[in-house]
Chain A
Amino acid sequence: MSGIGVISKRELLAYFSTPLAYVFIVIFLALSGSLTFFMGSFFDRGQADLNSFFSFHPWLYLFLIPAVAMRLWAEERKTGTIELLLTLPIADWQVVVGKFLAAWLFIAISLVLTFPLWITVNWLGQPDNGVILASYIGSFIMAGGYLAIGSCLSALTKNQVIAFILSAVVCFLFLMSGVEIVQAFFQPWAPNYILDAVNSLSFLTHFNGIIRGVIDFRDVVYFASIIGVFLYVNAIIINLKKGS
């Protein structure tokens, strides 16, 4: 097990050592389930698929992922353990990646626990399980994007509440840039390439491609770059903020 693995293991255990993990999982399951059945009119659509379930994920993540990410660095800074951690013989970037992977794995566990929904649709009809699998993978990758933003901003402050609000706001901007109202705002005056740029920055645009069942290479590259860029900035922030 590498240094990254050691960090991840500790971090993942830390999630489950507080009630936060269980509360998160319960909220995630309850919300994603009820949104699917009630707001997503799962039954009325008369189709055996999980489209309505996945289409809520970008909105659910907006609040739930900043809640998962907020403690990653803010708590270390508050309790002073960051000094202990960063003076151990392990590179800063390994700690950043290790923490991120732990939180991502935690999201993966939550996603896997939604399997009863999958069983339900398979029991009700004959869904395209390939599309469902692609959607799960897409949702997981998108969660990584939210998480990298959350981890990065959590390094800015000792206060978890501030970390939560900051990440929710930034994630909101990334989400909204693909929504029609925002697009309509740019439409009248902005040249096409700006319109495209704003649109292509959006989580929504890329995620909607994936839940149609096609994992487009460009969508994956997009989320991977978001993760890469924000984790890189995360490491920089940690370095700059060490003293304070």
Chain B
Amino acid sequence: MMKIVVCVKAVPDPQQACNIRIDPVTKTLMRCEVPLVLNPLDKNAMQAALDLKEQFDAHITALSMGPPDAEGIVRECLALGADQGILLSDRAFAGADAYATAYTLATAIAKIGPVHVIFCGMASSDGSTEWVGPEIASFLDLPVVTMVEEIVECRSLQWKVKASLAHGYRLMQVQLPAVFTVTRELNTPRALVFSGIIKARKKSIVRWGIDDLGVPAEAVGLKGSPTIVSKLTTTQSKREVNILTGTREEKATQLLQKLVDSGVV
């Protein structure tokens, strides 16, 4: 049986992102008022796993590290068709940078047991570093392909995948087990269906804390993070705006005139 782990992150709803501000004291995100949702690209990661499950005998674990209310997105993954959901939630995990996040996720994956495929999104919508997938691969000493836009061949343990470049692609051959980070071009995530939501109610979510992972407190969360936020400065604009007024026609004429006058058109 093909064992798949999909790493899913609960992110503040990108539609409401402008409400997020940095806590001036702790220098961490104040995400309280913004509801947590499944990171958009992790839907593509989930879909990649579900597509495999349609072709092969496969078992999907959705794995997330986050606050207790990240449980919602793990449940969403169960409703989408994951067989198992694991939430890594512990005060000790809080404040993790990409390195500590990847370390914690990698430790959990090692605890899950042998897996063939680990899917991550290419990036989260909040931190958006793109580091977590490759760093998980480093901690587990697995090969990784980032920015996968097509799985070309997956009938054996030797896969072929296309990884996107700014203009073009790389065709990679990779031996499983391996980590893949996926782009939105890979697939079109299917929407939740009611029967899935009902089925997910019967599935339970496993919750692991620091003791379950058996790692020292210094290795995770803020303490295990090599990077920290040192300060927040505000920026000021150097431009003085001239708002054009009048009817639509007049505004368009004025704008064109300004552009011609300044020599840029």
A, B in one complex: no
Which residues of A pack against B, CB within 8 Å?
A: none
Which residues of B pack against A, CB within 8 Å?
A: none
